[in-house]
Amino acid sequence: MLTFYDNDMTRPEASPSSRQRLILQLERLIADLQPGDRLPPVRELTQRYASSPVTVSAALRELARSGALVVRPGAGTFVARTLAVTAAAPFPGTRPGSDVTWQTLALHSRPALPAAVQNLFRPPLADTVPFADGYLDETLQPLGLMNAALGRVARRPGVWSRLPPEGLEALRAWFAHSAGPGFTASDVVIVPGGQAAISTVFRSLLPRGAPVLVESPTYFGVLAAARVAGLHLVPVPTDQHGVRPDLLEQAFRSSGARAVYLQPLYANPAGTVLAQERRATVLNSAERAGAFVIEDDYARDLHFVGPPPPTLVSQGEGRVIYLRSLTKVTAAGLRIAALIAHGPVLQRLKEARAVEDFFPAALQQEVALDVVTSRGWGAHLSRLQETLRDRQGAALRALAEFCPQIRAEHVPQGGFVLWLRLPEGSGADEFAAQALRAGVQISAGSSSFPAEPSGEYLRLSYAACSPSRVSEGVRRLGLILPA
Amino acid sequence: MLTFYDNDMTRPEASPSSRQRLILQLERLIADLQPGDRLPPVRELTQRYASSPVTVSAALRELARSGALVVRPGAGTFVARTLAVTAAAPFPGTRPGSDVTWQTLALHSRPALPAAVQNLFRPPLADTVPFADGYLDETLQPLGLMNAALGRVARRPGVWSRLPPEGLEALRAWFAHSAGPGFTASDVVIVPGGQAAISTVFRSLLPRGAPVLVESPTYFGVLAAARVAGLHLVPVPTDQHGVRPDLLEQAFRSSGARAVYLQPLYANPAGTVLAQERRATVLNSAERAGAFVIEDDYARDLHFVGPPPPTLVSQGEGRVIYLRSLTKVTAAGLRIAALIAHGPVLQRLKEARAVEDFFPAALQQEVALDVVTSRGWGAHLSRLQETLRDRQGAALRALAEFCPQIRAEHVPQGGFVLWLRLPEGSGADEFAAQALRAGVQISAGSSSFPAEPSGEYLRLSYAACSPSRVSEGVRRLGLILPA
């Protein structure tokens, strides 16, 4: 997080992250108190959380506005007995005196989003083990390559200019090469990150209300994007070899879906690789259904051993829309991904990007191109792969030591996620909430299922944790596990 | 456009812009020939257009693939007699042997987009006057400020890190301040550019098929975004004082629309300012309809005299969703804009951005913040306003001299667009096509109307032309005007 600025802008209070962090700390404190209890005075909170009085007051005000606290002038600040609702300010963040209740009629209902979406708005906490975070921590980001690239790119003329909506040709050529032989720059659209790519595909290809097939479980960001696009999610069960081809065929037939979204390589969260002998069957099912296969190849460079199997798109050109992102192998802030397709669907995607976003910033595209074509890129990937393997090892050892009741269903040979099964009846959602209070941010498996979960799961990401942090996090989980 | 790269990546041919430019030049040549005519040999084209043989061959191949040319091995390249359609490759860019006709069934129909959308894919031509371009040329971009900002920002830790989806707090505070008194950082969401902002608002607020009111004429990018979002456009006539309040009231009543999109300041393309006495009426109409007002304030810093009237959002807090972009006052590549709103709609917009895009790159946000809070920002704006006024003056003088038949309906005191009326029966679309052949890229007015145009118009933007280029462009227009 950035906290210091060179400019002379007056800032009304401390940095956003320190206030947000304090709010989370206060929420933990409130959770430990009873309704009606009085909070310690500001002076004491200031010392306990090493925050300024301004930040403490702002955090208390925000919690009061959200209904978690009640301020009684002269008496103190108290944990609310019920959710505070006033006629003047029924929505969080609403100013008193401004009636916005009419907006409810104008806005209609909204899609139900997985609870994990709210985590996107929470900054990472310094004293919490970030098992929920799917981006590399700074020790694994190729900061040297990115900063050197930025230095070179910053001096180039035209770096602030308009680009064609499909993106920089040389970067498109690089992505085309990465998808397999036979692809060229003209098959590629550059998109600002994988999430934007998924959203673009969903809303450009499928009308609202249309069915889309997804693996069950799958990445919660995909479930959210599909729901926001108004799609009807059709879960297709998976086993340790990826999506079940017999059930996929059946799902195509019963739903009439025109698209299936798959992660054939180290699927997030289950970690499975789509078996070689299933690939032709999957493509044939899609062909019989007249449907697209959306191949999200987020983990192409995250394998621990040998080269990964070839892409699905190289076997099913024209049938497969291929998605590749750089954020997972560089940093969350290098927001560059690519969509590769062939035929009229490519034109549909290009026009959607042009109309909905115009073009991704040239600066980001130039830096990305410089990084992936620089001499150090291969070494970065090797080090990344080795480190992730070490972290996975540390996680598995710590699980065996501290959490023998938790089972990794499958140990993937790549990626950064372990999919952990809790003993029946443990209540994964409640466990994840308890874990947060114990200083571990981890996602409950329920966010990864489009329908009823097939068991009690946790999704443990080690993308942002050193091996010692991994061990410490798992140790803390062990402390709250039912014996 | 960027043409040189430090890296050793092998590039199969010359830069995209040189090939695209050659394709446009060849399209002009083809337009001057008859169907069946033979093109000059590659050797001659190479010399005539100062291109490499590789680029010429690639351009010819692309034109042949699109059906404009026919290659007869041994005999030469000919202008096609009819649009070439082959069973194997019915779509542009399709490789022979790969049958993608099934995609048509999977994709269904697509929204009808204004013809001007295709211009987004065409790079600007060096020898053409860019009256269609709505972004500042490099002489007007604050390159010094942006590069200095980039130098400072590049050294900051965390510049590649994840940010909360709503964006950097200090930048949000700056945008809040710009909207009027009473707004704070928590009312703001940062978005990568105005087009993304408009698209987000349309698709998050309104279900597909819902009506949305727009000024007629209005910005073609807005019409495209609404169509891609599946909305039903309801045009509301304007006069020289902005949208007609009586017809707006009627449109709300007859359509049941829950939103109206307005540019109250120097509306693009008509240049009008919503009159002071109409503002309360507009807000009251929206209130009676239970509808949102979307205020696109793209020209807030582009006034030639005095300070512009206050924002609509400062008069209608909670009712108005306010949009402000930095690209129009900096450069197309600094893709930063903000949405400001109040009440549950703000939460709706924040979640949509998080799910559909995650967050705009920190690097872009940091640079934007540094630029707008730097000491030189005010001087940049003053110089920008002066220069745009000079360019407008040059355009009006040249029009009087070279195109007395063309009339500027209204001379705006800000912005970068003149809305020009051609004599009845001139055929603005055909005139714009002729202008391109004469070396002037200018938009026909029809792209700015959601329905039948109210006359024959041209939209002349001087954002990217020096006064002498403005005069030269208008002179060229005069040459093709019917006497």
CA distances for A450 relative to A218, A225, B207, B353, angstroms: 8, 12, 22, 21
Q: How would DSSP label each residue in A102-120?
A: THHHHH-------GGGGGG
CB contact residues (below 8 A), chain A span 324-343, against chain B: 330-335, 342-343
Q: Please, are residues A321 and A295 in contact by the beta-carbon 8 Å criterion?
A: yes
Please state, rounded to an integer, the average pLDDT across all residues of chain B.
89
CB contact under 8 A, A100 and B342: yes
Rounded to whole angstroms, the maximal C-alpha distance in chain A is 74
User: Would you call B361 and A192 a contact, using CB atoms and an 8 Å cutoff?
Assistant: yes
Q: What is the pLDDT of residue B119?
A: 75
Q: For a pLDDT cut of 90, what percent of chain A falls above it?
A: 69
Q: How confident is the model at residue A388 (pLDDT cuts 50, 70, 90)?
A: very high
What is the C-alpha to C-alpha distance for residues B266 and B242, in angstroms, rounded to an integer?
9
Q: Which of A100, A164, A362 sits opposite B343 (nearest CB)?
A: A100
CB-CB under 8 Å, A370 with B5: yes
Order of strands across the sheet with A242-243? A188-191, A337-340, A320-325, A292-296, A259-262, A211-216, A232-239, A242-243
State the average pLDDT over residues A413-422: 97
Residues of A in contact with B193 (CB under 8 A): 357-358
Contact at CB, A113 and B12, closer than 8 angstroms: no
pLDDT surpassing 70 at residue A13: no
Answer for the pair B457, B422: CB distance below 8 angstroms, yes or no.
Answer: yes
Determine whether the interchain pair A358/B15 forms a contact, defined as Cβ–Cβ distance below 8 Å.
no
Nearest-angstrom CA–CA distance, B275 and A389: 65
Nearest residue of chain B to residue A188 (CA atoms) = B93
Q: Is B345 on the interface with A (CB under 8 A)?
A: yes
Q: Which residues contact B334 (CB under 8 A, 6 or more apart)?
A: A160, A361, B146, B326, B327, B364, B367, B368, B371
- Cα torsion B160, B161, B162, B165 to 10°: value is -60
Interface test with A, best of B120, B190, B330, B336 (most A CBs within 10 A): B120
Q: How high is the pLDDT of residue B94?
A: 59
Is B365:B167 a contact under the CB 8 Å cutoff? Answer: yes
Domain A144-372 CATH assignment equals 3.40.50.720: no
* A135 contacts B105? CB cut-off 8 A: no
* The pLDDT value given to residue B33: 82
- What are the sequence ranges of the domains in chain A? 16-108, 118-140+379-480, 144-372
Neighbouring-strand partners of residue B419: B459
Whether chain A has a CB inside 8 Å of the CB on B159: the answer is yes
Taking every pair of C-alpha atoms in chain B, what is the biggest distance, in angstroms? 74
Report how far residue A119's alpha carbon sits from residue B60's, in angstroms, rounded to the nearest whole number.
52
Alpha-carbon distance A371 to nearest alpha carbon in chain B (angstroms): 9
3-state secondary structure chain B: CCCCCCCCCCCCCCCHHHHHHHHHHHHHHHHHCCCCCECCCHHHHHHHCCCCHHHHHHHHHHHHHCCCEEEECCCEEEECCCCCCCCCCCCCCCCCCCCCCCHHHHHCCCCCCCHHHHHHHCCCCCCCEECCCCCCCCCCCCHHHHHHHHHHHHCCCCCCCCCCCCCCHHHHHHHHHHHCCCCCHHHEEEECCHHHHHHHHHHHHCCCCCEEEEEECCCHHHHHHHHHCCCEEEEEEEECCEECHHHHHHHHHHHCCCEEEECCCCCCCCCCCCCHHHHHHHHHHHHHHCCEEEEECCCCCCECCCCCCCCCCCCCCCCEEEEEECHHHCCCCCCCEEEECCCHHHHHHHHHHHHHHCCCCHHHHHHHHHHHCCCCHHHHHHHHHHHHHHHHHHHHHHHHHHCCCCEECCCCCECCEEEEECCCCCCHHHHHHHHHHCCEECEEHHHHCCCCCCCCEEEEECCCCCHHHHHHHHHHHHHHCCC
- Give the pLDDT confidence score for residue B23 in this predicted structure: 81
What is the average pLDDT across A273-302?
97
What's the 3-state SS for B187-207? HEEEECCHHHHHHHHHHHHCC
Query: Average of pLDDT values for A383-400?
Result: 98
Backbone torsions φ then ψ of B204, nearest 5 degrees: -85, -30
Architecture of domain A16-108: Orthogonal Bundle (1.10)
User: Would you call A117 and B146 a contact, using CB atoms and an 8 Å cutoff?
Assistant: no
Across the interface, do A120 and B354 touch by the CB < 8 Å criterion?
A: yes
Task: Name, in order, each residue with C-beta under 8 angstroms of B301's C-beta and a sequence gap of 6 or more.
Answer: B329, B381, B384, B385
- Would you state the structure tokens that stand for residue A1, as one six-digit string? 């997080």
How close, in Å, is residue B461 to chain A by CA atoms?
16
Q: What are A445's two structure tokens?
A: 């498996």
Residue B82 has pLDDT above 70, yes or no: no
Q: Does B112 touch chain A (CB under 8 A)?
A: no
Residue in A107, A151, A355 closest to B228 by CB: A355
- Range from B18-27, B232-241, B341-350 carrying the lowest mean pLDDT: B18-27
What's the whole-number mean pLDDT along residues A149-164? 91
Which residue would you say has higher pLDDT here, A35 or B87?
A35
- Model pLDDT, residue A28: 78
Residue B248 tokens read as 């707006």
**B170 token code pair:** 């200090």
Partners of residue A224 in chain B, C-beta under 8 Å? 355
3-class DSSP assignment, residue A281 = helix
The answer to whether the CB atoms of B344 and A150 lie below 8 A apart is no
Picking from A154, A161, A155, the residue whose alpha carbon sits closest to that of residue B138 is A161
- What would the pLDDT profile of B459-471 be if each residue is shown by its tens digit? 999 999 999 999 9
Nearest to B17 by CA among A233, A234, A394, A162: A162
Q: How confident is the model at residue B475 (pLDDT cuts 50, 70, 90)?
A: very high
| Angstrom distance (rounded) from CA B109 to CA A344 | 11
In CATH, which superfamily holds the domain spanning A118-140+379-480? Aspartate Aminotransferase, domain 1 (3.90.1150.10)
Of A397-411, B46-60, B280-294, B307-321, the least confident = B46-60
Note the pLDDT of residue A43.
87
Query: Between chains, do B106 and A228 touch, taking CB under 8 Å as contact?
Result: no
| pLDDT higher than 70, residue A428 | yes
**By CB neighbour count within 10 A (0-12 exposed, 13-18 middle, 19+ buried), where does B47 fall?**
exposed
- Mean pLDDT value across chain A: 89
State the pairing for strand pair B320-325/B440-441: unpaired
The pair of structure tokens assigned to A66 is 């959200």
User: Cβ of A37: how many Cβ atoms within 10 Å?
Assistant: 11
What is the CATH code of the structural domain delimited by B143-372? 3.40.640.10
* Cross-strand partners of A320: A293
pLDDT mean over A130-152: 95
Query: Residue A371: its pLDDT value, please?
Result: 98
Select the residue from A161, A203, A208, A284 to test the B interface by mutation, using most B Cβ atoms within 10 A. Answer: A161
Mean pLDDT check: name the lowest of A119-128, B326-335, B429-438. A119-128
Q: How confident is the model at residue B212 (pLDDT cuts 50, 70, 90)?
A: very high
Pick from B124, B203, B343: CB nearest A94 = B343
Q: Which residues of A touch B11 (CB under 8 A)?
A: 169-170, 173
Contact flag B106-A7 (C-beta cutoff 8 Å): no
Antiparallel, parallel or unpaired: β B417-421 and B457-461: antiparallel
Count other C-beta atoms under 10 Å from residue A28's C-beta: 13
Residue B468: other Cβ atoms inside 10 A: 10
pLDDT at A7 > cutoff 70: no
- Residues in B closer than 8 angstroms to A1, CB to CB, are 158, 161, 163
* Any B CB within 8 A of A125 CB: no
> For chains A and B, what is the number of CB pairs under 8 angstroms?
329
Tell me the three state secondary structure of residue A303.
strand
Q: Which amino acid makes up residue B113?
A: L
Structure tokens at A326: 């750089």
DSSP letter for A41, please. P
Which residues lie below 8 Å from residue A280, measured CB to CB, with a gap of 6+? Answer: A315
What per-residue confidence (pLDDT) applies to A414?
Answer: 97
Which residues 6+ apart lie within 8 Å of B479 measured at CB? B438
User: What does the alpha-carbon distance between residue A188 and residue A183 come to, in Å, rounded to a whole number?
Assistant: 9
A66 — pLDDT class (breaks 50, 70, 90): low
Q: A468 pLDDT band (50/70/90 cuts)?
A: very high
B88 lies within 8 A of chain A by CB? no
Nearest CA in chain A to B225: A355
Residue A348 contacts B where some CB pair is shorter than 8 Å:
yes
Number of Cβ within a 10 Å radius of residue B295: 27
Q: Which residue of B has its CA nearest to A350?
A: B121
Q: What are the φ/ψ torsions at residue A358 (nearest 5 degrees)? A: 70, -85
Quick check: B168 contacting A, CB < 8 Å?
A: yes
**Window 200-229 of B, Cβ < 8 Å to A:** 203, 205, 207-208, 221, 224-225, 228
Q: What is the mean pLDDT of residues B200-210?
A: 94
Residue from the list A193, A230, A344 with its beta carbon closest to the beta carbon of B357: A193
**Given an 8 Å threshold on Cβ–Cβ distance, is B186 in contact with A93?**
yes
Tell me if A2 and B157 make a contact (CB, 8 A cut-off).
yes
Average pLDDT value for residue range B289-298: 97
Asked if A195's CB is within 8 angstroms of B358's CB, the reply is: yes
pLDDT in tens, A313-359: 999 889 999 999 999 999 999 999 999 999 999 999 999 999 999 99
The strand pair at A69-72 and B292-296 is best described as: unpaired
pLDDT tens for B10-68 read 333 345 567 777 887 887 788 778 778 889 888 889 888 888 888 888 888 878 876 77
Q: Give the pLDDT confidence of A434-445 residue by residue, as tens digits.
A: 999 999 999 999
Per-residue pLDDT, A157: 85
Q: Do B2 and A374 touch (CB under 8 A)?
A: no
Torsion of CA B110, B111, B112, B117, to 10 degrees: -100
| 3-state SS, residue A444 | strand
Q: Over pLDDT 90: what percentage of chain B? A: 69
Which residues of chain A make contact with B143, given a CB cutoff of 8 A? 160
CB contact under 8 A, A358 and B159: no
Task: Give me the percent of chain A exceeding a pLDDT of 70.
Answer: 92
The answer, for B161 touching chain A at a CB cutoff of 8 Å, is yes
Query: Do B293 and B283 contact (CB within 8 A), yes or no?
Result: yes
Per-residue pLDDT averaged across B375-388, rounded?
Answer: 98
